[in-house]
Structure 1
Amino acid sequence: MASVIAQHPSARRAWALTRIVRTAALGALFVALGLLVALPTAFVGLQAIFPALNHGSLAHPFAALRTTLAQTDTWPMLGNTLRFGVTVALASIALGVPLGALRGLTRLPAARLWDLLFLAPFLIPPYLAALGWMLLLQPHGYLQQLVGFDLGDYLFSFAGIALTMTLTVFPVVYFAVSRALMSTGGRLAQVARVCGATPWRAFARITLPLAMPAIAASALLAFTMAIEEFGIPSALGARAGVNLLVMSIEARFSDWPIDLSGASVLSTLLALTALVAFVAQRRLLAGRDFDTQTGKPVTSVPLELGHWRVPVLLLFGAVAFCTTLAPIGTIVATSFVRTLSGGLSADNLTLAHFAAVTSAGEGAAALLTSLGLAAATAVLTGAFGFFSAWIIIKTRTPGRATLDGLTLLPHAMPGIVIGVGLILAWNLPLWPVTPYNTWIILLLSYSCLLLPYPVRYASAALRQIGGSLEAAARVHGASGARALRRIVLPLVAPPLAASMMIVFAVASRELVTSLLLSPSGVQTASVFIWQQFEQGSIGDGMALGTLMLVISGIVLTLASLWTRRLDRLY
């Protein structure tokens, strides 16, 4: 290539123009990601250090830090947050590892059905699941109407909140363990059995160590998800007397007097805690893969359950009922009942709640707003994610490592911290134009939070594409942009489309940043559901929640079908 460029002036000019365009594109991408990711993250730390920063002053540095850390409730809240995260992580291990081991090592009847049922908690917004559990277990709830007793005292306790959160996040452990054991199989454990080891010894000395990296990494992820979650602790924690960092941060923004600096200090504590867990997860995965050398490949034969078949199916059924069927059933049932006190009787059924939220009004407007913002977020993050991943993986452009870090940073930042940072960054008098108090601020928050999904999916796909295809296109006269559009993008399209659909589903239900950033006159579906529950119009909120579940399910199903079609085409 160098000799061709040296011999042809036109080729040299084209090469120089390509470098200029690539440098300009990289610069524009850095600016965009800086505004999207780095700016709000930096302002959280700056506001924590300089309490008068929102007034344009750098006076009294570290005053808010000293004041907030000296308050009597700060360290107990941090302790509660850590205890909550650890409890959820341990409970997720206790539930997810046995189920994952059974799924990965045995011939489980209806295995794909159980996978689908355990995947459903990711479809249910955590705050909506918490509201469903409240309606089911609280005094005079559906459980008491059906069987005569309630579990409200347990639900509104630290253990109840931790269990509710565990039922939401344990699938990350289940899927990590089951897939890890599927890949390694049970052959080595069978060899140990032949050599005289008992079943439990073979599992403890062979199978479990092979799955340990997946267990530890997924447990750390469950810990991070627990300490970042706002909906479940906020819905259940107030009545339980449990106060966590994420709840206090939101209260300092929503309750008078507004405490920007105190919220920034607590946000920094929460972000550092999540960042430590994230770094620990990355270090744990780095260089800890097990490589088993067994000579000629042998098909792994799942173990037969035998007389354990019925108990195992009952176990999976009970967990699926608690994680998926009970909360979804409660949400759907509430959307059809006229009054909660009327119970689940035929004469109490109505479609009025669906009519209320689909007719011209706040519910319909909130639904359309969420769907529009989710679609815009999917397109924006898909474009940024693809170009970022291409520069990181397929070029040698200086600054790739920094770009990679910028795209990965939101993955380690709690959503409420991103929301706080966007408020602090854009609610300043120095900006001539600001997205604050407009719908654009919601688009920025969703895009910042969900950018890592398209980047990671596109990066994984690009690593599997050799450089010879682009080089062949360039040799035959295609420009770099044409090769990127006609060759690389179609090959990356299936995983990129899947990631964009995930972004759409998650953005349409985002709660905490929507509560913090929704401007006057703009209401999302999650905020509408939350406010309807607080105001007592529970049926209308659950009707919109049911519609959101249906829409998310349809979108993800279409994404799966489209991804399979693209895989066949390319």
Structure 2
Amino acid sequence: MRQSTTRSVSPILWVLLLVLAFLIVCPLVSVFAEAVIIDGRLDLYRAWTIIAAPENLQTIWNSLLLGVCVVALSTVIAAPTAYLLARSQLGKHKWLDIVFMVPFMTPPYIASMGWILFMQRRGLFQQLFPFTGRISEGFFSFGGLVLVMTLNVFPFMMTILKNAILNIPASLEESGAVFGAGFGLRLRKIFAPLLTGNYAIAALLVFVKTLSEYGTPYTLGRRIGFYVFTTDIHRYATTAPVDFGKAASLSSVLVLICMALWLAQNAITNRTSYRLVSGKGSRPVETHLSGGGLAAAWGWVALVLVVSIGIPYFSIIASSLIKLRGYGLAPGNFTLEHYAELFTTDRSLGAIGNSIFLAIASACICSVLGTVVVMAVRRGKGQLKKIVEGASMLPEMLPAIVLVIGIMLFWNAIYDVLPLYNTMGIMVLAYVVLYLPYTVQYVTSSFTQINDNLIQAGRTFGGSPWYVFRRITLPMIAPGILTGWMMIFIIAFRELVTASLIAPPNVLVVSTYINREFEQGSVSLGMAMAVLCVAITTTTLLILNAVTSRKKAS
């Protein structure tokens, strides 16, 4: 029976492999081909000359320097915060875990715009503190760029380190204390070695996200003349004279760097991983802070929250309510007209409608395709299932802008066969390619909680495969599918780089609408749309949390 089931799954795996190769692998190959194939022949020298050009070498150096600095500053913010939330009295306040995810839920380009409006000349900071003169304008530097990008990605590192610290048994730290090791020595000799593998994962994630980020380098980095991979790739692919060769060459370098980092992280993790969770269980440990220590801890948390959430959100909301920018925060200069305009003009309504359509369509397609992939992989055997699973997760390891460039090149090349390019369909396809790994991850996680005996029992009592799936498997993996759907909806609704590259002419989505209004000087209208964007995505996240909490309670 099991052999016949395996045989029936194999054709499905082959079909999925062809679909994933067509959607993901072919665009990626198109990027490399565009970089090294000139006039039908292999030309590595041209690709090398493009990469070795002084301006492109500067771009590569800028990107690597930015990544290293963001990792360093993220460590400074995330490490103490993770320790306080895992080991001190602050860990009892679970609402802090949700609040610290707000920077992640805020689109980077929106947070960057908030900081620009706050710190610029005659900005909100100078209006609130006129005695400081022009000191706030020093923000427009490499340090300001590092700060803004760090505030968006440090929650990833903080969450990974916090979970790792929680898994360190109390007995290890207590043993060190018994033998006279002070707090600093315990950090160096116990915590640091045990956290090295997890820190490598977190640092890699932050570094790759920094290299892949487009919104902040575009809004703030371009303003200070600091260009990185994503901004130059975007410029070569969209600004006349368009040069896909240069865009593909830089994209290839970016992919190779990311792949090398993934390999390095795997090597570090394999060498420095320790089994800390056993069947015996472990006691949670709490470092009891004194009154002064607890006050300092709350002060640190408040500072991080004010800088990462308070300043950008105050700036965004205040700017969305200002009637005339020249009067700033003056009494009587506030209005809700900008919000009313969002719901009364065709352009803003069209942008909202397009974003909702793209988010729903991509989330639904990813949910179906991802679930089929997971079902087939779990029933399959051999190398074929590993290849299919790896292909489905490939977009997670690659910068989004590289895949989008590949989609542009590949679908433009086959336009005569499949005229999807330059339509809304190509945007849905691009979103599906980028966000498929979310569904695969969440559904796979749900599958790990299903006991095979339940499925075998359904088959034993005569249930057909479809009946077993509909009555047993689907209800149990439904939370994972729903979670993946919600996360894809949230991220797709605010997506910027894909929309800015392949949106058809005169088609706006929420992100490009905000960006266009900001650049054209209609800042208040753009920020009103930004507030609406954040409100929609945050409401979706709250609904997700409520649904999952209810599922767990039942």
Report TM bin, short chain: over 0.9
RCO comparison, higher one (Cα < 8 Å, 6+): 2
What CA distance in whole angstroms lies between the structure 1 residues aligned with 2:281 and 2:91?
26
2:484 aligned with 1:499:
yes
After superposition, give the CA deviation of every residue in 1:428-472 in whole Å (9 maximum; x if it has no partner): 266322211001111111111111111112112212323222221
What CA distance in whole angstroms lies between the structure 2 residues aligned with 1:453 and 1:473?
29
After superposition, give the CA deviation of every residue in 1:99-137 in whole Å (9 maximum; x if it has no partner): 111111111176323222210011110001000000001
What CA distance in whole angstroms lies between the structure 1 residues aligned with 2:277 and 2:261?
32
- 2:29 aligned residue: 42
Structure 1 residue matching 2:54: 3-state secondary structure: coil
After superposition, give the CA deviation of every residue in 1:351-390 in whole Å (9 maximum; x if it has no partner): 1111111114111110111111111111111112222122
Is the contact made by 2:12 and 2:376 (CA closer than 8 Å) also made in structure 1? no
Structure 2 residue matching 1:289: 3-state secondary structure: coil
2:15 aligned with 1:31:
no
What CA distance in whole angstroms lies between the structure 1 residues aligned with 2:80 and 2:377?
38
**2:125 counterpart (143, 148, 151):** 143
What CA distance in whole angstroms lies between the structure 2 residues aligned with 1:282 and 1:316?
32
Is the contact made by 1:119 and 1:171 (CA closer than 8 Å) also made in structure 2? yes
**2:473 counterpart (488, 495, 504):** 488
Alignment of 1:422-501 (within 5 A): 422-428=407-413, 431-501=416-486
What CA distance in whole angstroms lies between the structure 2 residues aligned with 1:471 and 1:295?
27
How many correspondences in the alignment?
A: 551
**1:95 counterpart (58, 63, 77):** 77
2:178 aligned with 1:194:
yes
Q: Please report how far the alpha carbon of residue 169 of structure 1 lies from its aligned counterpart in structure 2 after TM superposition.
A: 0.5
Q: Please report how far the alpha carbon of residue 168 of structure 1 lies from its aligned counterpart in structure 2 after TM superposition.
A: 0.8
Q: Please report how far the alpha carbon of residue 411 of structure 1 lies from its aligned counterpart in structure 2 after TM superposition.
A: 0.8
278-287 or 553-562: bigger deviation: 278-287
Q: Kindly provide the amino acid, as one letter, of the partner of residue 200 in structure 1.
A: G
What CA distance in whole angstroms lies between the structure 2 residues aligned with 1:292 and 1:178?
15
| 1:497 to 1:230, Cα distance in 2 relative to 1, 3 A | same
**1:322 counterpart (299, 307, 323):** 307
Alignment of 1:131-530 (within 5 A): 131-148=113-130, 149=132, 150-286=134-270, 288-292=272-276, 297-306=281-290, 307-396=292-381, 399-428=384-413, 431-530=416-515
Structure 1 residue matching 2:89: 3-state secondary structure: coil
Q: Kindly provide the amino acid, as one letter, of the partner of residue 345 in structure 1.
A: A
Q: Please report how far the alpha carbon of residue 396 of structure 1 lies from its aligned counterpart in structure 2 after TM superposition.
A: 1.9
2:56 aligned with 1:74:
yes
2:524 aligned with 1:532:
no
What CA distance in whole angstroms lies between the structure 2 residues aligned with 1:151 and 1:504?
40
Is the contact made by 2:490 and 2:540 (CA closer than 8 Å) also made in structure 1? yes
Is the contact made by 1:104 and 1:177 (CA closer than 8 Å) also made in structure 2? no
What CA distance in whole angstroms lies between the structure 2 residues aligned with 1:196 and 1:565?
47
Q: Quick one: percent identity of the two aligned structures?
A: 29
TM-score by length of 1: 0.92
After superposition, give the CA deviation of every residue in 1:229-284 in whole Å (9 maximum; x if it has no partner): 01111111122121111111111112111101111001111111122222333344
**Considering only aligned residues, what root-mean-square deviation do their CA atoms show, in Å?**
2.0
- 1:6 aligned residue: none
Q: Kindly provide the amino acid, as one letter, of the partner of residue 306 in structure 2.
A: F
Q: Please report how far the alpha carbon of residue 498 of structure 1 lies from its aligned counterpart in structure 2 after TM superposition.
A: 1.3
Q: Kindly provide the amino acid, as one letter, of the partner of residue 193 in structure 1.
A: A
Q: Please report how far the alpha carbon of residue 21 of structure 1 lies from its aligned counterpart in structure 2 after TM superposition.
A: 5.1
Is the contact made by 1:376 and 1:443 (CA closer than 8 Å) also made in structure 2? yes
TM-score by length of 2: 0.95
Is the contact made by 2:392 and 2:436 (CA closer than 8 Å) also made in structure 1? yes
Structure 1 residue matching 2:421: 3-state secondary structure: coil
